[in-house]
Structure 1
Amino acid sequence: MRAFECRQCGNPLYFENSTCVSCGTKLGFSREEKAIVPVDDRGRYVDAEGLVWWLCANRELSACTWLTRFEGSLCFNCGLTRTRPADSDAEGMRAFPAAESAKRRLIVELDALELPIVTRAEDPNAGLAFDLLSSANVPVTTGHQNGIVTIDLAEGDSVHRERLRRDLDEPYRTLLGHFRHETGHYYEEQLVHGDLRQRARELFGDERQDYGEALDRHYAQGPPKGWRDRYISAYATMHPFEDFAETFAHVLHIADTIETAQSFGLTGVDTGAFRSFRDLVTGVWIPLSVALNQINRSMGKDPLYPFVIAGPVLDKLEFVASLSPRYRSL
């Protein structure tokens, strides 16, 4: 996430800011300009070409600050949500803004990677959409199927999430991480075909193996011995689909954190000097993540990035990153 500043007074801004705390200017996020821009008291912004933009209709419901072309309509991000909790579901509606906030970050990341986002309106059978569901009264399984990403809103609750992280022996579990992982399934369906599918099988294994059997085996037996030499996480060992999605999530973890570190002056390394994503990981990410882990430990917290990137994992990261036009040209 890049650093933002108020166009009125130059004060630093966070991505979620709806008002500048320094000068009081009301703010909105322009996806087209990739910038936080000032809006008037009516929630209106006029761009350099004279086009009028309005704050999203969900600004009260989910604290959305994004702009949309038509007054009273949903922004691009909110329009991707196919299902949300009912207004009468108090617990679900309390959790809804955090999920939408994570999704907004995801969309910014996908845009930065220049990955195509095909909506359900454009492709009713396989376009991307999100069901953000409350498990307060019925069970919800986080997952992906035919372009529909389902997120259990309970993952936004730190107590619930930490309990599952501990029970499932996961070193890392976040709401944004779920969005990144499940969207990885969508992009594998969209982008990995033909020769790319054959290369994916060489790296991740044959995705045609029975998923249900792989799931049962994973939860009955756990990851295979020596899995850290070939996989980014224990969950990645379950099935080639999960290995790809975990790797996709880590490409986003790494790319976004490096961009944020550069934007805030934490690293002065020129990423344009690297010829591949693999080199970017070894030359920038690994030393940066080691430093960030030590900073966390200095605050008495767990490592920020508790993963070991082995050689075969670098090959997988390079393959997934190369699906992005941004890294394909490195």
Structure 2
Amino acid sequence: MKIFKCPNCASTIFFENSRCVNCGNVLGYDAVSDGFIIPNSYNSYYNNNFKFCDNHKYGICNWLIEDDGNHIFCKACELNRKVPAESDTENFQKWKKLEVAKHRLVYQLLKLNLPLESKIKNNQGIAFDFLSENNSDNMVTGHAGGVITILLSEADSVHREQIRMQMDEPYRTLLGHFRHEMGHYYWGFFFDYSDNIFNFRNLFGDERQDYNQAINHYYCYGAPLNWNLNFISKYATSHPWEDWAETWAHYLHIMDTLETGNAIGISFSSNQTQNQEIHITRCSNPYQTRDFKTIFETSIALTSAVNSLNRSMGLPDIYPFVVPEPVFQKLSFIHNLFNQHLYS
């Protein structure tokens, strides 16, 4: 994630800010210019045609839209199909937490220049349903036909930790959920009617195997022995689609953390990593780096350093994963797909 500047006083602004703490101006994020703007209605000195997304009134969104009478919601909020009512106080507050993660996801998808349309406008697009655990259709967190369902209970950190331990997962976050489920949606974008499917099967396996049988087998018997030699997580072993979604999510983790490292100006020397062949200076901007090996090596340096900092505070590793060579090849494959998409 970038670090932003106030358009009035150039003070540091973070992604969720809606006001500059230095000069006091009200600010909103403009996804088109990828920067913060002072809406005209809050300061007559700035003559522009921007207003806040309608969800700003609930303290949920700080994104701007053109004040042209054609839009109500921003690029992130227009993807919502089902959300809790404001009168449902408990679930409404949980939704607010989930929106923070979803807005970060959408920021990154726009950065990667991926198609992002609302299913409400285009049936081939994306919709988010935020539902309570006791919803009438017994839906669970997941993806189906462009609809991403997120249970509001995921916003409860205690509940999320209980599920993480129950599922024997080293990592479980709101943003991680969004990235994983969005990976399922974009699988069709990259592989339907494409020769890329043959390369996919060489790395991830044949996705034509029965999904429900594979998932049931995983929940009955767990991951195979030595799973960590070929997969990023235990759940990735359950089916090629889940391997793709898990690896996709990790690719997005890598890209976002490196953009943050670049924005902050973090630098390394080779002896700060576990691989003495790595020579890193400053974190490069991953969205401007075509060589995945450079991105990956920088990521190793960054996560090793941050994991060590967490241990100094008695906290778990922020990135509790080891990436074996087969997973590196899968990550590299995903990176090359993006390069094909961006530069074709």
1:277 aligns with 2:276: no
* 1:134-191 Cα distance to aligned partner (Å, 9 max, x none): 2266554110011111111111111010000011000000001100000000000111
Aligned positions of 1:240-319 closer than 5 A? 240-267=240-267, 268-270=282-284, 276-281=291-296, 283-319=297-333
C-alpha distance in 2 between matches for 1:207 and 1:112: 28
SS of residue matched to 2:334: helix
2:110 is aligned to 111
SS of residue matched to 2:97: helix
2:8 is aligned to 8
For the 8 Å contact 2:259–2:284, the answer to whether it is kept is: no
Offset at residue 123 of structure 1 (A): 2.8
SS of residue matched to 1:60: helix
2:189 is aligned to 190
Offset at residue 89 of structure 1 (A): 2.2
Give the TM-score normalised by the residue count of structure 1: 0.92
* 1:111-142 Cα distance to aligned partner (Å, 9 max, x none): 11122213325531x21111112226655411
Offset at residue 29 of structure 1 (A): 0.4
SS of residue matched to 2:58: coil
Q: 2:53 aligns with which of 40, 51, 56?
A: 56
- Alpha-carbon distance change, 157 to 222 in structure 1, aligned in 2, over 3 angstroms: same
Aligned positions of 1:1-330 closer than 5 A? 1-42=1-42, 52-70=49-67, 73-124=72-123, 126-135=124-133, 139-193=138-192, 194-267=194-267, 268-270=282-284, 276-281=291-296, 283-325=297-339
- Alpha-carbon distance change, 33 to 307 in structure 1, aligned in 2, over 3 angstroms: same
C-alpha distance in 2 between matches for 1:321 and 1:146: 24
SS of residue matched to 1:18: coil
C-alpha distance in 1 between matches for 2:74 and 2:107: 13
Structure 2: 5+ residue stretches without partners: 268-281
Structure 1: 5+ residue stretches without partners: none
SS of residue matched to 2:27: strand
For the 8 Å contact 1:114–1:326, the answer to whether it is kept is: no
Identity between Structure 1 and Structure 2 (%) = 42
C-alpha distance in 2 between matches for 1:122 and 1:43: 33
- Alpha-carbon distance change, 120 to 137 in structure 1, aligned in 2, over 3 angstroms: closer
Flag the structure with more relative contact order, 1 or 2, with Cα contacts below 8 A and sequence separation at least 6: 1
For the 8 Å contact 1:38–1:45, the answer to whether it is kept is: no
- Alpha-carbon distance change, 191 to 280 in structure 1, aligned in 2, over 3 angstroms: same
For the 8 Å contact 1:132–1:151, the answer to whether it is kept is: yes
2:277 is aligned to none
C-alpha distance in 2 between matches for 1:229 and 1:167: 23
Give the TM-score normalised by the residue count of structure 2: 0.88
Computed over aligned residues only, the root mean square deviation of the Cα atoms, in angstroms, reads 2.2
- Alpha-carbon distance change, 205 to 24 in structure 1, aligned in 2, over 3 angstroms: same
For the 8 Å contact 1:58–1:78, the answer to whether it is kept is: yes
For the 8 Å contact 1:321–1:327, the answer to whether it is kept is: no
C-alpha distance in 1 between matches for 2:304 and 2:23: 38
For the 8 Å contact 1:56–1:68, the answer to whether it is kept is: yes
- Alpha-carbon distance change, 123 to 68 in structure 1, aligned in 2, over 3 angstroms: same
- Alpha-carbon distance change, 11 to 260 in structure 1, aligned in 2, over 3 angstroms: same
SS of residue matched to 2:56: coil
- Alpha-carbon distance change, 88 to 271 in structure 1, aligned in 2, over 3 angstroms: closer
